[in-house]
Amino acid sequence: MVVAEFITDLVEFLNVGKIMNASQVSQTALYTLQYFPHFNLADLKLFFDKMKLGHFGSFYDRMDGQLILEKMEVYNQDRMTEFEQIRLQQDREIVKNNPIGNGYHPLVIDAIKKAVGDKKPFSPEAIEPRTQTKAEIFQKMALKQFDNLFAKYGINIGIRALKIGKSIFAIEDFIERKVNNKINFIKDK
C-alpha cells in the first residue's frame, strides 16, 4: 500500500495528461516489490523524490507503470554504482592502513611480519636519485648536439639523419663518430 501511495502521489504531482488508473498503480506496486525487493522505504522515498525533481528526465503527457519501472532500474544501477565506489574506497583505506591485507588471521599477519620484517610500503619519494655515469652524460650531450644540428642540417630518409657536405649521418653514425673523436682526443693527450 505504501508503494501504491508513492506512485499515486507521483502521478498527482506531475499532473500529466495520461494518468494511471487504480489497477495500473496496483500492478506497478506489485512489480516494484517483485523486481526490487532489496529497496527499503528510504530507497523508494528517494527514488520518487528524484522522479518529482526531474532527475530521470522530463515526462511529457505520459506516466505509466512501464516508465516508472524503467526509471527505477536506472536508479537501481546508480545505487549499485555508488555502493561499489564506497566499497572500493573502503578497500583502498584498508590496504593503505594494512598493506598485508585484511582477510588474514592476526597470527598469520604476525608470522608474515616476523619473516619479512615490519617494513614500510614502497614509496617513490624514498628512492634517492641515481647519479649518471660519464658515458650517460656523454651520450645525452651527443643526442642534444644531434638534435640541434638536425634543426639546421636535418633530412628525413625514413630515419632522422644529418647531411653535412656530401656525408649523411644517421644518429648511430653521429654518436659513433663522437665517441671516436673523444677516444682520439684522450689518446693524443
The Cα 86–Cα 84 span in angstroms is: 5
The pLDDT tens digits of the residues spanning 74-125 come to: 999 999 999 999 999 988 887 777 656 556 777 877 787 788 776 666 666 7
The pLDDT tens digits of the residues spanning 122-164 come to: 666 767 778 889 888 888 998 899 888 888 888 888 888 988 8
Domain assignments of the chain as residue spans, ordered by start: 2-93, 134-188
The Cα 185–Cα 187 span in angstroms is: 6
Q: What confidence score (pLDDT) does residue 102 get?
A: 59
Q: What confidence score (pLDDT) does residue 120 get?
A: 66
Sequence-ordered alpha helix ranges (H) in the chain = 2-14, 22-35, 41-53, 65-97, 106-116, 134-153, 171-188
Place of cell 649523411: 168
Q: What confidence score (pLDDT) does residue 113 get?
A: 78
46: confidence class by pLDDT, cuts 50, 70, 90: very high
Asked whether the predicted pLDDT for residue 21 surpasses 80, the reply is yes
Using an 8 Å Cβ cutoff, are 10 and 56 in contact? no
Of 2, 74, 81, 76, the C-alpha closest to 39 is 76
Q: What confidence score (pLDDT) does residue 169 get?
A: 84
185: confidence class by pLDDT, cuts 50, 70, 90: confident
